[in-house]
Each structure stands twice: as structure tokens, then as C-alpha cells.
Amino acid sequence: MAYLAFYRAFRPSTFDEVVRQEHIVTILKNQIAEQKVGHAYLFCGPRGTGKTTLAKIFARAVNCEHPVNGSPCGVCPTCRALSSPANMDIVEIDAASNNGVDEMRDLREKVQYPPVAGKKKVYIIDEVHMLSPSAFNAVLKTLEEPPSHALFILATTEPQKIPATILSRCMRFDFKLLPREDLENLLRKVFDKTGKKYEEEAISAIARAGAGSARDTLSIADMCASYAVGTLTYEDVNAVLGAADFSSVADIVNCLFRGDAPEALSRTEQVLSTGKGVGTLCKDILTFLNNVAIAKLCKNAKEILSLPEDRFNILFSSAEFADGHKILRCTEIFSACESDLRYALNGAITLETAILKCALPDSDYNIDALISRVSALEKKIEEGVAPAKSTSNSAPAERVQTIQPERVGAKPSPKAVLTELEDENPFAPKKEEKEEVQPTLWEQAAPAPSNAGSLTEEEKGKVFAKLLRAFRTTRRNAVLFTLCMDLESAFEGDTLILYTDTQAVLKALNREENSRFIREALADFGVFSFEVRFKPKGESKWESAERRLKENFKGIDIDIK
């Protein structure tokens, strides 16, 4: 006998063998037992969930002479006659290729003839949504009032495309996707019957890839059984599915969490150079991110994911390191990337753009990205490392030194680190001796308003750091803190000038609400005037002044010497 694929060889022949769909099976069995069989049924739902299989079982069951628990017995003369492909009482029609009005007119004429072997003549119309409007109209009257011996079973994956006049004349049954646990049990039965040895992790991987479809699951299992010579392993399943190496995907995702864009791109190119598809790699990264979220949030993540011990440990270490907002933002970016890849002419560029967006949070002004950056800064402060400010190309950046604790092994307090932020302003004069640690914003009393022009040069040098600290310790202004932390500052008389090289930051800081917050915060430090200006990267103060002069006097020839 010719070899049969798993999904054909192990197709259920009775209601009891059907996987899940209990809500449908129970209704059909009760209708047969009580002899209340209708004349038109609509089976709709995702592919591979048992629509056609259940239709065939039901067609034989309504004709069986001695049903067993509602299912066809398989031994009576009628069951044996209907099991032959040449029987004329169960007619299967593929509406995808017979969707014209002529085919439906032919069906309408032949439906008048009585059955040959059984009590009912059953018409199973698969993919019924493919019928043309004229074909639907041709079968409409017959479907509403068919002969007493006729039974129609319509099957479709897209019920929304079926006219309401057809839907209202049928009993509708919605099939559901199969749970992973049921698919795993089905796979174990199939492999046990075929004598194929397997690992539990391999069973779980196939069930996950099946995505709720029994036919897809069995098709993947068929390939895996042919691929593995001995015991079917988790690695064999990944090889059949064409998935990228687990550790390679983990390395890429960890680079995204660290913000290491060059390394992330390098590792991506290494994976793609092995022949892995761009879409497959994007899907693997998305799956890994989803697993990281499960490992971070669920206490029983190990049971849910069913991964080998070494792979779960890699996943769990990534989950511990990652920030929740960062996971969410990366998942959103790669979900959009997966959709964009369908229409992209160059998929590699689309994927690498998503990787850059995840690995460079400084250029991402999404609220989750900003919150993630604030969380990273909080972590640095807790560890005793103050964030370094970026300066223009004309002056090299100077990192703020970590405050040394008084005793060996002692951890510096966040208050001491915040105080160090006051001294990081590049325009502040250098100090020989370290001042006492100032109280934090919530510890100090509200300062008395000072008059404009009363600040000394040393006090002016501390204003910007105090502004950052004010935003840092006020939770609702965490986004403002993120926007301001990379700015440069200087005083023109008594006016504080804030410089940015990003137009988006310039617009954000000049919004009325943000401008009011900054003005209120600066008033506490004796500064009552400020301005936010755009300054391209690498532009010196002289070049900035020259550019602003020309902008203020447009149309006038200015000779600068």
C-alpha cells in the first residue's frame, strides 16, 4: 500500500477520536440520537481544526443503521457502502474550483434524486466562501427548502465572506484552535503507533510550530520523523523548521538590551550569511522576546515554555537582565517589522533598521523607550555610577568620576551620587576641595526667591545640574529629565541657554507645558529667564553666534571679520 501522510493516515473516523471541539461533537451526537438532524450546517474556523473530518463523520453517522454513541459503526452494509470512494450518497464539492453558477445549477438538478444506499444524500461543499454571487443565488432556494433526503454541510475558513441570506439558513458551528497540550498528546499517540522515539522538548516544539492546527502539526511531525534517523530531538525540529540557532538569537537580543548596535548588526549578518531567511530570523527574535517576557512575568515559565534546561537558563538570564519597558518596545518594533517584511523590496535593510531602532534608544522618543532609558539611569545611580554628559566635538567628553566610599567595599548612597551630578557641568569652574553633600530635593526646605542677577559664576555653574536633579527626583518629570540630560548649557548674562542638536528635543522642550515646568524649576534656583536653542553637532560657540546673527538679520549683508 502507498505511504499516507500522517494527517491522512491518522484522520479520525469516529466522534470519539476527534481532538477537542467538544461543543460541536456533543450537539451532533445528540441530534443523531434524538433523530433531530437539520438540513443545512455551516462549519467555520481556522484551517486544520477538523471541519471536513467532522463533516465526513457526520455524513456517515446520519446514514448508519446502528450508530455507536452517535458515531458510525463501520460494520453495517450502509457504512461499508459509504466507505467506498465510488459511493454516490456523500458528494464532496470543492467550491474553490467549482465556483460558477453552472455547477450550482447542476447540483440543484441532481439533489432531487434519492440516495442509493443510505437515508440521506449529503453534500459537503468545502471552501464555500469561494462561490460567486450568482452561484450563491442559484443554490439559495434549494438550501432553504431541500428535499427531505438532502443534507448540506458547508465548510469555510472565512465566514465573513458568505452572504447573510446563506448564513441565516444554516446551523453555524465555530471551530476553535486546538490547545498545545492536546496537540502534544496527539503527537505522542502518532509517534508511539509508528514506533518513533522522541524527546519531550521536541514534541513541545512541534506543537508550538503547529499554532493550534492539527493538520499543520502532523505535517511538521511527518517531516521531522523522516529527518531524524534515531531519536527525534529538539535540535532536529529546529533544523526542519529552518529556525536560527538559539544561542545566536539570544546573543542578538542581549545586544539589543545592552544597546550595543554594532555588535547586534554584526551578529545579525553572521546569521544571515549562513543562509537563514530574513523573515525566519525576525520571527525567531520575536519568539525569543515573547519567551523572555513569559520568563520575566510567570512563576511557572519553565513549564509553559518546555525548553531544554540549558536553553531555559540562557533565556532566564536574558529575562533577569532586561527591563520590562525595553522588552515591550522591542516586541512592538519587531512585530511591525514582521508585517513590513511582506512588502519590503530589501528585507535585510528592514530587519537591520528594526535592530538599530531597538539598540539605539537615544534616537527613539516612544514613551516606553524613554521610560526604559530612565530605568537604566536609575540602575546606574543605584550602582554608584553617574551618567556622563555628551559635549560638542570641539571639546572631548569628560566622564564624571564615581564617588569613592569612605570604607572599602561600602556602596555609595544615591544621595552622594546625585550631589556629584551638580559638578558635572562643563561650564562650572574647577574646585580644589570637595564641598559637603547637599540634601536631596525632598530633604531641603524651599529656597527663598532670589533676585535676578544675584547669582555668582560658581552658582551659575551648578544651575544645570540642579535642574537635572529636580527633574530626576520628580516622577512626573522623568521624561523631561531624559530629554534634558544630553543638553549643553551656558549663561548669557542672567539667561540660561540650553543647547540641543536634535530638532525633536527642541520642539518638545518648547512646548508650553514643558517650558512651564522648566521655568518653575529654574525659579527655585534664582534663574528667571531661559532659552532653548538648536546647535548642530561640532559647532563652536563662535560659529553658533555667527549663525544666530545671520538668522536674526536675514536679508542684510553682514561682513564678519
Structural domain boundaries of the chain? Answer: 6-174, 180-241, 246-364, 408-428+455-548
Q: Which three cell numbers mark 242? A: 529552518
Q: Which three cell numbers mark 368? A: 516606553
Asked if residue 80 lies in contact with residue 46, where contact means CB atoms within 8 angstroms, the answer is no
Class (C level, CATH) for 408-428+455-548: alpha beta
For the chain (561 residues), the mean pLDDT of every run of 10, in chain order, is 84 90 92 90 93 93 90 89 86 89 89 88 93 90 88 93 92 92 93 92 90 92 90 89 84 91 91 87 92 90 84 88 85 92 90 90 63 68 54 39 41 45 45 47 41 69 81 65 79 84 81 83 84 76 66 64 59
Which of 3.40.50.2300, 1.20.272.10, 3.80.30.20, 1.20.120.450 would CATH assign to domain 246-364?
1.20.272.10
Q: Tell me, what's the pLDDT at 458?
A: 80
Q: Tell me, what's the pLDDT at 144?
A: 85
Residues 6+ apart with CB under 8 A from 419: 437, 438
Asked if residue 259 lies in contact with residue 323, where contact means CB atoms within 8 angstroms, the answer is no
Distance CA(349)–CA(274), nearest Å, equals: 17
For residue 283, which phi and psi values (nearest 5 degrees)?
-65, -40
Which of 3.30.1320.10, 1.10.8.60, 3.10.180.10, 3.30.70.100 would CATH assign to domain 180-241?
1.10.8.60
Q: Which helix (H) or strand (E) holds 287?
A: helix 278-297
Same fold? 6-174, 180-241: no
Q: Tell me, what's the pLDDT at 398?
A: 39
Distance CA(249)–CA(95), nearest Å, equals: 43
Q: Tell me, what's the pLDDT at 214?
A: 93
Say whether domain 6-174 belongs to CATH 3.40.50.300. Answer: yes
Q: Tell me, what's the pLDDT at 485?
A: 76
Q: Confirm whether pTM is higher than 0.75.
A: no
Distance CA(351)–CA(360), nearest Å, equals: 14
Using a 10 angstrom Cβ sphere, with 0-12 exposed, 13-18 middle and 19 or more buried, the burial of residue 21 is: buried
Considering Cα of 257, then 259, then 261, then 266, what sign does the dihedral take? negative
